[in-house]
Amino acid sequence: MTDKIALEEHFITETLAPYAAGNQPTQDAAAFAVLRRRLADFGEGRLAAMDAAGIGYAVLSATVPGVQAEPDAAKAVALAQRANDELAEEVRKQPARYGGFAALPLQDPAAAGAELERAMRELGFHGAMINGHTHGQYLDEERLRPFWERADALAAPIYLHPCDPVGTPAMFAGRPELNGSVWAWTVEAATHALRLVLGGTLMRHPRVKIILGHMGETLPYVMARLDSRTRHSGREFAVEELPSAILRRQFWITTTGVCDPASLATAIANLGEDRVMFSVDYPYENGVEAAAFLASAPIPEAVRAKIGRGNAAGVLGLSYWKETGFTKKRSIKHPQQMLHQA
């Protein structure tokens, strides 16, 4: 039965391909060629992989680093529009199976906010996928305020994806084994999320929903430590709430790449059974393996259904019917209606 939703499912188009040239998830050339072919496929191959994993609906996003790698801000704005239009075209061909997360030109924060609004209102996208920092700029920085104001007004789901850190931090020097998704990405993404928590961005924008992959990039495991050390640091903080309160209010996580019952149990216990969502990380992870993990996890059936589709349906605005599958609840508003709302 294809009754699951998946939210970290990547693609590439010819427009975006030059930017991903440095993204080498594997040193194995043959495996890399297979990944590239799968990323570029919006047709039978992708749908067959979804069917095999019991996924009815996948939210597609540009693979890392995407438009954020463009050094010129004006070019990035045009590139993001083009990439989102290309994705919208593919979603239109398979509206019952695909949804979209927008690519955003964060090089220009106001334009990024406008593109998020266009993508959600006009293209029917569910929110955005942000591939980590943009040329070393992080999302809690003051210049990003116009973007967050838009995102908050839209109550937008923002999926914060890992990426390579800037340069080689001293702690990774001489140990390339730690690079990429082995460890460096986890440190990068978890730290980026905590900047939003401790820097006050999410306290100021409480309607924004942050989604983290990879079972929450270790944050569900360290919540008690974050709270206790925040309490005892003696430092003035930008926010009065403890990190765990903001994490429980504004974070959702997906199971991508962590097919481990103990990690799932910790995430459910610390973040809550309403905050964990199934996903694959296609084509970098195996959907059948991810589905088998969820199917066999020692959790009540009602929780399995929440993780498989219920929680994501709530975040994305989807309805599910056994007979017909998934449909989008949000109507795509006419630009004229947007003017009246503004």
For the annotated catalytic residues, the residue numbers are 281
Nearer to Zn ion, 140 or 217 (CB): 217
Nearer to Zn ion, 8 or 70 (CB): 8
C-alpha distance from residue 173 to each of 27, 77, 176, 178, 191 (Å) = 19, 34, 7, 9, 19
Nearer to Zn ion, 8 or 164 (CB): 8
Closest CB 211 distance from Zn ion, rounded Å: 11
Closest CB 61 distance from Zn ion, rounded Å: 8
Binders of Zn ion among residues 6 to 65 (CB under 5 A) are 8
Q: Is 70 in the site for Zn ion (CB under 5 A)?
A: no
> Beta 318-321 vs 325-328: how paired, if at all?
antiparallel
Nearer to Zn ion, 111 or 210 (CB): 210
Q: Is 281 in the site for Zn ion (CB under 5 A)?
A: yes
Which stretch, 1-9, 112-120, 233-241, 315-323, contacts Zn ion (CB under 5 A)? Answer: 1-9
Closest CB 313 distance from Zn ion, rounded Å: 21
Closest CB 39 distance from Zn ion, rounded Å: 11
| Furthest CA-CA distance within the chain | 57
By CB under 5 A, how many residues form the interface with Zn ion? 2
Cβ-closest position to Zn ion: 281
Q: Is 117 in the site for Zn ion (CB under 5 A)?
A: no
Which stretch, 30-38, 110-118, 195-203, 279-287, contacts Zn ion (CB under 5 A)? Answer: 279-287
Residues making contact with Zn ion (CB under 5 A): 8, 281
